[in-house]
Structure 1
Amino acid sequence: MISKGHKKHTTLQRPAFGNFGRNEWAIVGAPCTTIKLLADQVISTLSSKYKCAYVDTTHNDDMVIPPGRLSSGAAFEYTDQVNHQQLNYAKPFNPFRLREIFSSTDLVLINGNHQPAKAQVIIIYNNKKASLQKRIAQLTNVQMIILADADDVFDFIKETIPDWDKLPIYKLDETEKIISFFETQMQNAKPVLKGLVLAGGKSERMGFDKGAVSWHGKEQRYYMADMLKSVCDEVFISCRADQQSEIDNQYSSIADTFTGLGPFGAILSAFREKPDSAWLVVACDLPLVDENTLKYLTDNRNISSVATAYQSTFDDFPEPLITIWEPKSYPVLLSFLAQGYSCPRKVLINTDVFLLNAPNPDDLTNVNTPEELDKIKHALHKKVTVE
């Protein structure tokens, strides 16, 4: 017998997805050709900054035989079309699969005649009044109204949306204003940037806790956390569960819940706590990193990429432990883990990331051994003398 107070499932923070993505709008109330044209105009303008997607349902009612090898019983068929890739599935998608597929997108526009969405844009056509009225239950979060051949909003819309007159209302031919609405929405949806200092390693090669070394007059984990506060909304120190009681209570911390995975597990643990935030992750064994290095990274952040990282001058690979990981990287990291990989650098190498050249490449030097420690002491002394 299960008691009434018993919780069968662990309570998790869920990403703010709709049916497809975090930022999605169903366009309703217009003929499909009008919706497609409007979607084309918005996507063609915003696709240079954001990854855009479009959702619709085909009108080819005479298509009763699945295409290609699906008709032979294949579960799916992948085709390299040279200028694009095509993947046909035999089975319908449920919401969980759809959110997984669309997780890399920034903006999703949807033909609301066929599919609902988290937010809606209404187009008012006089001859579509009855059709729109049938979809009144789908109008749960209307954010813009567009007048096509009508001069006013339908009465049933006014009754359904009490604050309808506070919404932006444009004519269908006011394309620039309509596109500007979506651009503003995307700017406002920019994920908040949190800071994460990686201080949960056992420092076995060094022989002592690198996070506790006092390079700059205080323990490195606290020095780095203080520095991150200048560019992040909130800062946390990542640590093992057995270390958490040692962290100064003036600093927030996140204990690893993906254990035994090193930095990879620390990043996943942070996303588990706050899946809709972006995370500026910095290892505590980078004693030469300064505010200029962090600010250059945040100033040049590309929110449409999975991550923004510095490119190493040593091997030309991305530096994973001074990187901004966007919310869309969370499912990517989990998918790599499911395939047996727990290397953050491998994720960056094999996904869409935005790479920068560090203003001062020496600042990315890390310390893992006593020999490297001596070199860094000399470099720090030289840096302080020059300053």
Structure 2
Amino acid sequence: MPAARSIKTHLMPDTIGLVVCGGQSSRMGTDKSLLLYYDKPQRYHLYDMLQPFCEKVLISCNAEQTKSMEAGYAVLPDHPSYNNIGPLAALLSAFKEFPQKNILLIGCDYPFLTSVQLRQFSEYCNGTKPVSFYNEQSAVYEPLLAWYPYEAFDPLKKMQEAGEYSLQHFLISVRAVKFYPGSKRSIQSVDTQEDFVRVSTQLFHQRLTFF
């Protein structure tokens, strides 16, 4: 079951938190959102992490993933009109469901992400431009670690209608605010079984240092 909410004042007002499950990863060979790094699958771990930041948190998933969702977790399936367009489907579905709300989009690929880093990130999310974690080494935005203000909905919808689905290109085109995380590990993604084993071991030893 989800953790109880203990903080009433949200750190990101008028913002809906969206945990993006994604689909079956061909490189990983399984659903990344079900990987276990902590005491519960990653999609539920992130759902709990986002509670203090957002007025409402949901898990974005496809129809098949909806069937396996545990009771007590709010779910937002992709809208039928946004099939097969990647993470953009999750974002547009959220804007459609929650007009005039901002969307915090968080993918399940980043096991080192912490609430401390999100708190620092939240301080930048107060304008009319998207804000995204930025990978300085690769010189790219992290679209699944990003805040999209409601002003982004119209240009995103026009992009989708034009057959363009890249959130990376969108963030570049609008010159989204770049957030440089203090810990570069927070943007380290896990894409293969080898990555998963290595990162799980690192996190296990990291937790041991606190005891």
The answer to whether TM tops 0.5 is yes
Determine the structure 2 residue equivalent to 1:312.
135
> Which secondary structure state, in structure 2, belongs to the residue aligned with residue 328 of structure 1?
helix
> Structure 2 residue aligned with 1:244, among 44, 52, 66?
66
Counting aligned pairs with the same residue, the percent is 27
Q: Could you tell me the TM-score, scaled by structure 1's length?
A: 0.49
- Once the two structures are TM-superposed, the CA of residue 318 in structure 1 deviates from its matched residue by 1.3
1:372 to 189, 195, 198: 195
The 3-state SS of whatever aligns with 2:158 is helix
Name which structure has the greater RCO, CA cutoff 8 Å, separation 6+: 2
Name the structure 2 match of 1:207: 29
1:42-191 paired onto structure 2 within 5 Å: none
- 1:210–1:250 distance in 2 versus 1, CA, 3 Å: same
Task: Provide the residue aligned with 1:194 in structure 2.
Answer: 16
Letter in 1 for 2:137: F
Q: Is the 8 Å Cα contact of residues 13 and 55 (structure 2) preserved in structure 1? A: no
CA distances 1:80-118 after superposition (whole Å, capped 9, x unpaired): xxxxxxxxxxxxxxxxxxxxxxxxxxxxxxxxxxxxxxx
Matched residue SS, 1:319: strand
- Number of aligned positions between the proteins: 197
1:123 alignment partner in structure 2: none
How far did residue 352 of structure 1 move? 3.4
* Letter of the 2:31 counterpart: D
Amino acid at match of 2:181: A
2: CA distance between counterparts of 1:200 and 1:310? 19
Structure 2 counterpart of 1:354, from 177, 189, 196: 177
Q: Which amino acid is the alignment partner of residue 281 of structure 1?
A: L
In structure 1, list runs of 5 or more residues that go unmatched: 1-189
Q: Distance in 2 between matches of 1:191 and 1:327?
A: 12
Q: Report the counterpart of residue 148 of structure 2 in structure 1.
A: 325
Gaps (5+ residues) in structure 2?
Answer: 1-11
Cα 1:200/1:318, change in 2 over 3 Å: closer
- What are the Cα deviations for residues 16-67 of structure 1, in whole angstroms up to 9, with x where unaligned? xxxxxxxxxxxxxxxxxxxxxxxxxxxxxxxxxxxxxxxxxxxxxxxxxxxx
Q: How big is the shift at 1:275? A: 2.2
Q: Give the structure-2-normalised TM-score.
A: 0.87
Mapped partners of 2:206, 2:164: distance in 1: 37
Change (3 A) 1:249 1:300: same
State the AA in 2 paired with 1:202: Q
Q: CA RMSD in A?
A: 1.6
Aligned to 1:339: 162
Q: Is the 8 A contact 1:200 1:243 kept in 2?
A: no
